[in-house]
Amino acid sequence: MTDLKFTRRQAVLGGAAVSGAVVALAGQEAHAATPTHKWEASYSGGPDPAAHSPGQAGRDYQPTLTPNGATLPWKIVDGVKVYHLIAEEVDHEFAPGLRALCWGYNGRVHGPTIEAVEGDRVRIYVTNKLKAPTTVHWHGIFLPNGMDGVGGLSQRTIAPGETFRYEWTFKQHGTFMYHSHHDEMTQMALGLMGMIVVHPRRPPAGHRVDRDFVILLSEWKIVPGAKRPDPNEMTDFNVLTMNAKAYPGTAPLVCRKGERVRIRFGNLSAMDHHPIHLHGYYFKVVATDGGTLPVSAQWPEATVLVPVGTTRDIEFVADAPGDWAMHCHMTHHVMNQMGHDLPNMIGVDTSKVGSRAGRLVPGYMPMGQHGMGDMAEMGMPVPKNSIPMVGARGPFDYITMGGMFTIVKVRDEAIGDENKDPGWYKHPPGTVADLARKEDMDRDGIKA
Ligand SMILES: [Cu+2]
């Protein structure tokens, strides 16, 4: 009885727990018929997911948007959604000025987002065009053990040139990921990963949003000038990415004022968790890769920690127009190809060093005595194909961040569905911080 009361209360509090309530109210029999013994709040589709026809965009869900990425196309064969992933080497641009030979899927780094609906039967072919064996693991998905994709443990690896078939029925909704699960350290460091979004068959109340973005966080070591990422790196990652792009290569997230926005983060970095901070808003953390959180358990944040190997969904209403920064709050993760074996020059008087050292090392330039902020714009000679310290020119000045940084652009006017960059925000007069006026300072007794 206690359980029933609790579940009813949850059902009143929010839609996310409704399926749990249905199970509890219908009693033991219904519980036995439930297709998974797992967390009921992540399942909305009724007792038999296999009885559903393939989910349709528009009718059953609002498609997600993967900035800088794509959604994997599918076709329907005898009621089954058929997808094809091709693992292959890809010449990938991280940001203007930096390319590297990575491993990805279907000509992309990372792979395209796989999108489906609860109850969909899916068949995913994986062709291996790499020179090494590989597998694909479907992170967080309830599936038969032999479809789990762990090389050696649940299947033999896919040899170069082979095509494997994975097949299951989605019995849950949420945000998940896929990645190689063979020679993981190497293959994930080179980019073999992507996101999976499964929409609820019967969206709980309040589930529908106007913009539904997908962002996969990852990290790389690319020695300036090198042609390939270095998978042996353990600590000193120097290219931090959202959907495999480092700012200024990252596309903005474009929203219209008043829209309900969801951002689904995944983190498949090798070694780092990323606290992602959104300026100008608070949001609610509404789901993890373990399923939807009951409304009573959702918590407000302005920064969401996305630990490695997890997903986090956040939701907010975009009610404040502007160009709002969204970035990892680890400050070394918003730098591009930063080296970390530098002497600390802060506060050092280098006025005489330059000319003396210049006699020994032509072109020597002492720097860093006032910080790193100016270095990106100095136009120092750098190795070909590298972007050390690079940020981007903003509407007011140089933006000194790179890496895991993007901009949420909220506009009053209509913006279309293509996530097209609307340019810089035009601030209403008098709403931008600027030089203080003398009469204001005099009035307020401020002496400078
Ligand atoms: Cu980070």
Cα of 43 from ligand 1 centre, angstroms: 31
Task: Give the pLDDT confidence of 175-232 residue by residue, as tens digits.
Answer: 999 999 999 999 999 999 999 999 999 888 888 999 999 999 999 999 998 999 999 9
Taking the domain 75-331, which CATH number applies? Answer: 2.60.40.420
- The token duo for 220 is 């790389």
Cα of 406 from ligand 1 centre, angstroms: 13
Cα of 425 from ligand 1 centre, angstroms: 26
Task: Using a cut of 0.95, tell me whether the model's pTM lies above it.
Answer: no
Cα of 274 from ligand 1 centre, angstroms: 4
- The token duo for 392 is 């981007």
Cα of 67 from ligand 1 centre, angstroms: 18
Cα of 395 from ligand 1 centre, angstroms: 25
Cα of 278 from ligand 1 centre, angstroms: 13
Cα of 373 from ligand 1 centre, angstroms: 19
Contact indicator for 162, 133 with CB cutoff of 8 Å: no
Cα of 404 from ligand 1 centre, angstroms: 7
Which burial class, exposed, middle or buried, applies to 331 when counting CB atoms under 10 A from its CB (0-12, 13-18, 19+)? Answer: exposed
pLDDT score recorded for residue 257: 97
Cα of 435 from ligand 1 centre, angstroms: 33
- Domain residues of the chain, as ranges? 2-51, 75-331
pLDDT score recorded for residue 374: 63
Low-confidence ranges of the chain (pLDDT < 50): 1-37
pLDDT score recorded for residue 86: 98
Cα of 213 from ligand 1 centre, angstroms: 19
Tokens 């479809």 sit at which residue?
Answer: 147
Cα of 150 from ligand 1 centre, angstroms: 27
Measuring CA to CA, which residue among 379, 398, 291 is closest to residue 43? 291
Cα end-to-end span (Å), the chain: 69
CA distance 251 to 420: 9
Tokens 């300026």 sit at which residue?
Answer: 279
